[in-house]
Amino acid sequence: MSTKTYTGKDIQVLEGLDPVRKRPGMYIGGTGKPGLHHLVWEIVDNAVDEASNGHATYIEVVLHRDGKSITVTDNGRGIPVDLHPTKKIPTLQVILTTLHAGGKFDNSNYITSGGLHGVGASVVNALSEELVAIIKRDGGTFEQHYARGIPVSKLKKTSSTTRKTGTSIFFRPDSEIFESTEFDADRIREALEIKTYLNGALRIVFKDEAKGETLEFFHEGGIAEYQEYLLNDLNARPVHENAFLLKQDEIRLGSRVELVLQWTESPKEHIKSFVNGIPTVDGGTHEQGFRDAIRSAIRSYMDTHDLIPRKLDIGSDDIREGIVGIINLFMVDPQFQGQTKEKLNNPSARALVSGVLRLELEQFLNRHPSTGDAIATRVIQSAKARHASRAAASSVRRKSNVSHRLNLPGKLADCSSTDPTESELFIVEGDSAGGSAKQGRDRMYQAILPLRGKVLNAEQASLKKVVENKELSNIVLALGCGIGEQLDLSRLRYHRIILLMDADTDGLHITTLLLTFFYRYMRPLIDEGYIYIAQPPLFRIDAAKKTYWALDEEDRDAIIAKIESKNRKAKIDLQRFKGLGEMMPATLKATTLDPEKRRLLRVIIPDEFRLETENTISDLMGKDPSARFRFIMQHAYEAEDLDV
């Protein structure tokens, strides 16, 4: 820390950056991890500006060994070090100590990566314990040190023998300001790589000193290459081969639009939007224009070519389902909104993007009718599915609205409690197992629903068929929360829905069919973690007056080995259950129903497996029975092991 006394100039500087230290959230969104990393983006964006204006070819970002400080270097012209014409201090110091508006320091109103032209540097300086700027320019190397936005040294010339030019900024964020000052290397790496996708000529080197790792990012293919990366990452299969790619300057408006767009089999829409290479996580007017144009271009194409089936309503959700796309809008003076300033707010951007895109996309479709038709088919498929699900859901609602208890299925042995958080529903295979379960349960909070008939494969049937299936509609009625788009979790009658099937292939088959049904039509039950799989034992082992339960052969062998290691002469009595039906109620209670003793598997889909799950279910539940079986076996072991 410096102990020097302030001069008049310093006090002016202090006043200048004081608001930033008082209310950092106003400038960087907050003082948590996103805010901390915002400092990196500010400095990197200034370097990217210099590169996109054609003066730098190389940016290096070093995350230092302590994980709490960073150096960003570019090989551009170097921030000017001469005296600022009016302020009479070096321009570098002006840049680092005053909150200024973009474009103030030069009059070429060209578009910059952040559109801010060095604006963020003073904010980073204000919020850093220490900042060191090193400039190579005019044949010399210059250096100046700062602490919390205040210069602690004058700008010094440290060498006069360099022919190189460039800017290097080292900074260590202030631990008095941030909740934590530990940077996240993965987050930085990912953001840097995206910058190189958005700027095909840019080369960024990232060094992680703690890991001793150096990575270089360079993606000449630009956003087209980014699109390839996204498709892979999302595991989204395109329905047409060539992506629609648009790069257009709107010279009149001083803007440029770059975008790429492709329909896939993914059940969702994935749009990444940027303004001047800065991510707009909360979207904004450019994204609205993107969506407007897609909707009207596709509608117009389908209308013109008479591709809309009669009586089928096509909504904009249907048109957008499965889209994977990127939009990067370059514009002068972008205005951002929202807490973290990640939403574009300029009204002109909407009309600009939609105007350019609508025209070009329609022409593209008309020039590539096979692509147009593939997209139309995808849209129709989505509209039909939505339609069927709406119709079926309202039929179930009509049925289940009559009265709560009066309308419960006859086969349900309900529990007395009406508090869903403590109530459990066991869905049990077969009437005889159902009988044992009814006798072994705690009727206060455990309900039993036996399944008798065949469970329909929901993947291969329309929703109308699904609801007509007695077993599935009984489940829906018992749960009480509705189905499909009408599902209302607040009406769910049980917060644990436990599938209790025999430990054989038939049992696994039924479990899979039920999971497919929940996944397709009652998905929030899975997402909220309400679905469980019971694990009834396959073997009973009696030895030395003790009883053990084994889930499978492996478990059995392990238990026997353990017994024998303790007592070599132990007489071991082994019983294999053929099915739940032949288990005594007391045995079922002790092994499978009693929360103190049972083991349940909770069904979860980790975020990183969401798409894979979607594809697996549609692939396997559709056609191939052997692949389906492999799927069950694999996932039974992947389910999270949980004692409840």
Concerning whether 506 is annotated as a catalytic residue, the answer is yes
CA angle 335, 341, 342 (to 5 degrees): 95
Using CB under 6 A as the binding rule, whether residue 91 contacts ligand 0R9 is answered as yes
- Taking alpha carbons only, the member of 631, 612, 621 closest to residue 456 is 621
**Cβ closer to ligand 0R9: 41 or 226?**
41
| Distance of alpha carbon 435 from alpha carbon 411, whole angstroms | 11
The nearest distance, CB 48 to ligand 0R9, in angstroms, is 9
Scanning 127-260, the segments in alpha helix (DSSP H) are 185-198, 222-234
Helix (H, G, I), strand (E, B) or coil at 277: coil
Cβ atoms of 582 and 433 closer than 8 Å: no
Cβ atoms of 500 and 440 closer than 8 Å: no
Which one from 176, 488, 506, 552 is the annotated catalytic residue?
506
Which residue is it, tokens 């909220």? 528
**Cβ closer to ligand 0R9: 43 or 580?**
43
How many C-beta neighbours within 10 Å does residue 5 have?
A: 6
Using CB under 6 A as the binding rule, whether residue 553 contacts ligand 0R9 is answered as no
| Distance of alpha carbon 55 from alpha carbon 77, whole angstroms | 6
**Cβ closer to ligand 0R9: 118 or 482?**
118
Using CB under 6 A as the binding rule, whether residue 105 contacts ligand 0R9 is answered as yes
The nearest distance, CB 73 to ligand 0R9, in angstroms, is 6
The nearest distance, CB 15 to ligand 0R9, in angstroms, is 21
Q: Residue 93: which residues within 8 A CB-CB, separation 6 or more?
A: 84, 144, 151, 155
With CB under 6 A, what is the number of residues at the site for ligand 0R9?
22
CA angle 148, 153, 156 (to 5 degrees): 135
How many C-beta neighbours within 10 Å does residue 32 have?
A: 13
Amino acid type, 500: L
Using CB under 6 A as the binding rule, whether residue 169 contacts ligand 0R9 is answered as yes
**Cβ closer to ligand 0R9: 18 or 106?**
106
How many C-beta neighbours within 10 Å does residue 211 have?
A: 11
- Taking alpha carbons only, the member of 256, 224, 400, 387 closest to residue 312 is 387
Only one of the segments 46-54, 410-418, 496-504, 514-522 lies at the binding site for ligand 0R9 (rule: CB under 6 A); that segment is: 46-54
| Rg, Å, the chain Cα set | 32
Which one from 143, 459, 502, 614 is the annotated catalytic residue?
502
- Taking alpha carbons only, the member of 318, 346, 351, 314 closest to residue 332 is 346
β-partners of residue 250 are: 255
Which positions from 125 to 164 touch ligand 0R9 by CB under 6 A, shown as an x/- string? Answer: ----------------------------------------
Amino acid type, 626: S
**Cβ closer to ligand 0R9: 73 or 97?**
73
**Cβ closer to ligand 0R9: 82 or 640?**
82
| Distance of alpha carbon 635 from alpha carbon 605, whole angstroms | 10
Q: Could you tell me the two tokens for 345?
A: 């707010």
Which positions from 438 to 477 touch ligand 0R9 by CB under 6 A, shown as an x/- string? Answer: ----------------------------------------
The nearest distance, CB 47 to ligand 0R9, in angstroms, is 4
Residues between 474 and 503 that touch ligand 0R9 (CB under 6 A): none
| Distance of alpha carbon 625 from alpha carbon 627, whole angstroms | 5
The nearest distance, CB 45 to ligand 0R9, in angstroms, is 8
**Cβ closer to ligand 0R9: 57 or 547?**
57
**Cβ closer to ligand 0R9: 70 or 500?**
70
Using CB under 6 A as the binding rule, whether residue 167 contacts ligand 0R9 is answered as yes
Only one of the segments 74-82, 140-148, 351-359, 500-508 lies at the binding site for ligand 0R9 (rule: CB under 6 A); that segment is: 74-82
Which one from 504, 553, 573, 641 is the annotated catalytic residue?
504
Q: Could you tell me the two tokens for 537?
A: 């034992």
| Distance of alpha carbon 30 from alpha carbon 32, whole angstroms | 6
Cβ atoms of 180 and 174 closer than 8 Å: no
Which positions from 302 to 341 touch ligand 0R9 by CB under 6 A, shown as an x/- string? Answer: ----------------------------------------
The nearest distance, CB 60 to ligand 0R9, in angstroms, is 9
Question: Dihedral angle at the C-alpha atoms of 428, 433, 439, 441, nearest 10 degrees?
Answer: -30
The single residue among 35, 36, 38, 46 that binds ligand 0R9, judged by CB under 6 A, is: 46
Using CB under 6 A as the binding rule, whether residue 72 contacts ligand 0R9 is answered as yes
The nearest distance, CB 206 to ligand 0R9, in angstroms, is 14
The single residue among 50, 321, 424, 459 that binds ligand 0R9, judged by CB under 6 A, is: 50
The nearest distance, CB 44 to ligand 0R9, in angstroms, is 7
Only one of the segments 43-51, 235-243, 248-256, 457-465 lies at the binding site for ligand 0R9 (rule: CB under 6 A); that segment is: 43-51
The single residue among 36, 70, 81, 95 that binds ligand 0R9, judged by CB under 6 A, is: 95
**Cβ closer to ligand 0R9: 50 or 129?**
50
Concerning whether 502 is annotated as a catalytic residue, the answer is yes
The nearest distance, CB 281 to ligand 0R9, in angstroms, is 23
Using CB under 6 A as the binding rule, whether residue 47 contacts ligand 0R9 is answered as yes
Scanning 251-368, the segments in alpha helix (DSSP H) are 285-304, 316-320, 347-367
| Distance of alpha carbon 432 from alpha carbon 429, whole angstroms | 8
Only one of the segments 68-76, 251-259, 495-503, 517-525 lies at the binding site for ligand 0R9 (rule: CB under 6 A); that segment is: 68-76
Which one from 50, 429, 459, 614 is the annotated catalytic residue?
429
Q: Could you tell me the two tokens for 265?
A: 């089999």
CA angle 377, 380, 385 (to 5 degrees): 125
Concerning whether 429 is annotated as a catalytic residue, the answer is yes
Residues between 108 and 127 that touch ligand 0R9 (CB under 6 A): 117-118, 121
Scanning 199-245, the segments in alpha helix (DSSP H) are 222-234
- For helices 33-52 and 185-198, angle between their N-to-C axes, nearest 10 degrees: 30
Residue 584's Cβ-count burial label (10 Å; 0-12, 13-18, 19+) is exposed
**Cβ closer to ligand 0R9: 130 or 542?**
130
| Distance of alpha carbon 533 from alpha carbon 517, whole angstroms | 15
The nearest distance, CB 150 to ligand 0R9, in angstroms, is 19
Cβ atoms of 204 and 196 closer than 8 Å: yes
The single residue among 39, 43, 202, 479 that binds ligand 0R9, judged by CB under 6 A, is: 43
**Cβ closer to ligand 0R9: 46 or 512?**
46
Q: Could you tell me the two tokens for 405?
A: 């208890």
Contacting positions for ligand 0R9 (CB under 6 A): 43, 46-47, 50, 72-74, 76-80, 91, 95, 105-106, 117-118, 121, 167-169
Write out the catalytic residue numbers: 429, 502, 504, 506
